[in-house]
Structure 1
Amino acid sequence: MAARRELGDELRRLRGERRGAEVAAVLGWSESKLSRIETARTGISEADLERLLRLYACTQGEQSRLRELARRGRARVWWAPYRSSVAEPYGEYVAFEAEAVAICEWEAQVVPGLLQTDEYAHAVIEVGADLHDPETVQQRTALRMARQSVLTRDPPPRLCVVLDESALHREVGGRDVLRRQVQRLHDASQRPGVELHVLPFAAGAHAALGETFVIFEFGDSERAPVVHSEDLVGGQLRTKHSDVRVYREAFADLRRRALPVDETRELIARTGHGLR
């Protein structure tokens, strides 16, 4: 879904000031067909893409990039078996996460999904406002665990997490579940490519009060970073350059205020010991 969305954005950019009805008429399409492609509500066939590339007089570089996006958009995604249990925007989130070369995450309430234990994840998911079906809870928990394989791919993404100290004390799932989760955090803090910081209570007010978010970076000058900000109904994806800049600055502020990596590891160890 992420590749299809990116392809639609690129095709809309290439259309420029031309009206959708005008382009559709030239191609013999309905205007709604063009709109569905540009808004990623449907994919595009190879033949239809080639017609658009010719109409827009794309450069060789643009053609190669758009063909690759179309190919990725048609591919069966690995999380397809879980698709019935989650809303479509979550599929986009998983796609960005799987393709990112760097992930920067601020979490104010709970441990981030990529670092959760199975039992902790289940406890978080089952209190979701839209969930009343145990089978769906199990499916979403399984998907969250499967997502963690991104950290063992070759090469793995760089993961930088700033976690509020309160998450180390909130007994999600009970005290024993939290104790095992804190141990998992301590183990994760020693993994190559993982940079974990705790924002202590003493840090006071900061630039991201009242919000949690993730920044995905793709290591490609032609592919802009994406921000996902969380809310009760799934969150919002942001790609506008000025919006992304605000979130980057907020994350930099959080990182400055947070404990260094070594002190974070020591705090996590002390917290885990206190839960025994």
Structure 2
Amino acid sequence: MAARRELGGELRRLRGERRGAEVAALLGWSESKLSRIETARTGISDADLERLLRVYAGTHGDRARLRELARRGRVRVWWAPYRSSVAEPYDEFVAFEAEAVVICEWETQVVPGLLQTDEYARAVIEVGAEVRDPETAHRRTALRMARQTVLTRDPPPQLCVVLDESALRREVGGRAVLRRQVQRLYEASQRPGVELRVLPFAAGAHAALGEAFVIFEFGPERAPVVHSEDLVGGQLRTKPSDVRVYREAFADLRRRALSVPETRELIARTGHALG
């Protein structure tokens, strides 16, 4: 879905000031067909893409990139079996997570999904207002655990997490579940490619009060994407000015947070206190 969405955006950019109806008429298509492609509601065949590229006359680099996006948009993704249990925005979130080379995450209330234990994840998922049956909770938990394999791919993404101290104190699933989750965090803090920092209560007010978010970076050839959390699945932000605001907020959080060694010490003390 992420590749299809990106392809649609690129095609819309190449269309420029031309009306959709004008381009569709040149190709013998309905305007709705072109609209569905541009809004990622449907994929595009190789033949249709080549016809569009002849109309738009993009650069060689444009053509190569769009062909690759179209190919990726048709690939059956590994999380397809779980799609029925999650909303479409989450589907895109997983796609971006799987493709990112750098993931920067700020979490205000709970441990990030990539670092959760299965019992902690299930406790978080079960309190969701839209989760109404055990099977949905089970499938969402399984998906969350499967997502964690992104950290073991070759090469793995760089994961930088700033975690509010409250997440270390909140007994999600009960005290024993939190104790095991804190132990998992301690282990994760020692993994290559993982930078884990805790923002202590003493840090006071900061630039991202009340909103958790993730920044996905893909390298120089592709624009970053931000996913911000809300109660109905979150929102994807791609506008450069929006992304810049979130990058600056994350930099502020990282400056205010404890160092990596100080974070590790705090996590260890918290684990001991939990028994």
TM-score norm. by structure 2 comes to: 0.99
Deviations 1:19-44 (A, max 9, x none): 00000011011101000000000000
Read off the aligned partner of 2:257 and give its amino acid letter. Answer: A
SS in 1 for 2:154: coil
2:61 and 2:227 mapped to 1: Cα distance? 29
User: What per-residue deviation string (whole Å, max 9, x for no partner) do you get for residues 202-235 of structure 1?
Assistant: 000000001000000001x231000000000000
Pick which of 177-186 and 51-60 moved more: 51-60
Letter in 1 for 2:247: R
**Is residue 21 of structure 1 aligned with residue 15 of structure 2?**
no
Moved over 4 A (4+): none
1:226 partner amino acid: V
Quote the residue 2:59 is aligned against: 59
Matches within 5 A, 1:1-276: 1-219=1-219, 221-276=220-275
Report the 3-state secondary structure (helix = DSSP H, G, I; strand = E; otherwise coil) of the residue aligned with 1:171: coil
Structure 2: distance between partners of 1:43 and 1:87 = 19
TM-superposition CA deviations, 1:131-159 (whole Å, max 9, x none): 11110000000000000000000000000
Shift of 1:59: 1.6
Distance in 2 of aligned mates of 1:153 and 1:74: 22
- 2:217 is matched by which residue type in structure 1? E
Query: Per the alignment, in what secondary structure is the counterpart of residue 237 of structure 1?
Result: strand
3-state DSSP of counterpart to 1:110: coil
Q: Which amino acid aligns with 1:199?
A: L
How far residue 61 of structure 1 moved from its aligned partner, in angstroms, is 1.2
The amino acid of 2:251's aligned partner reads A
Name the CA distance, whole Å, in 1 between partners of 2:87 and 2:37.
20
Whole-Å separation in 1 of the counterparts to 2:118 and 2:221: 36
Shift, 1:109, TM fit: 0.1
* TM-score normalised by structure 1 residue count: 0.99
Distance 1:82 1:235 in 2: 18
Q: Which runs of 5+ in 2 are unaligned?
A: none
The alignment partner of 1:76 has SS state of coil
- Cα-to-partner distance string for 1:41-72 (whole Å, 9 max, x where unaligned): 00001110000010001221111110000000
> 2:171 is paired with a residue of what secondary structure?
coil
Give the distance between the partners of 2:173 and 2:3, measured in 1 at CA.
Answer: 36
Farther-moved stretch of structure 1 (37-46 vs 54-63):
54-63
Q: Following the alignment from structure 2 to structure 1, what is the Cα–Cα distance between the partners of residues 58 and 48?
A: 14
Cα distance in 2, alignment partners of residues 258 and 44 from structure 1? 46
Structure 1's unaligned 5+ residue stretches are: none
Superposed CA offset, 1:172-206 (max 9, x none): 00000000000000000000000000000000000
Residue 61 of structure 2 aligns to a residue whose secondary structure is helix
**1:87 is aligned with what amino acid?**
A
Counterpart CA distance in 2 for 1:132 and 1:24 is 43
Compute the RMSD of aligned alpha carbons.
0.5
Query: What is the total number of aligned residue pairs between the two structures?
Result: 275
Give 2:36's aligned amino acid.
R
Partners of 1:167 and 1:139 lie apart in 2 by 24
Amino acid at match of 1:11: L
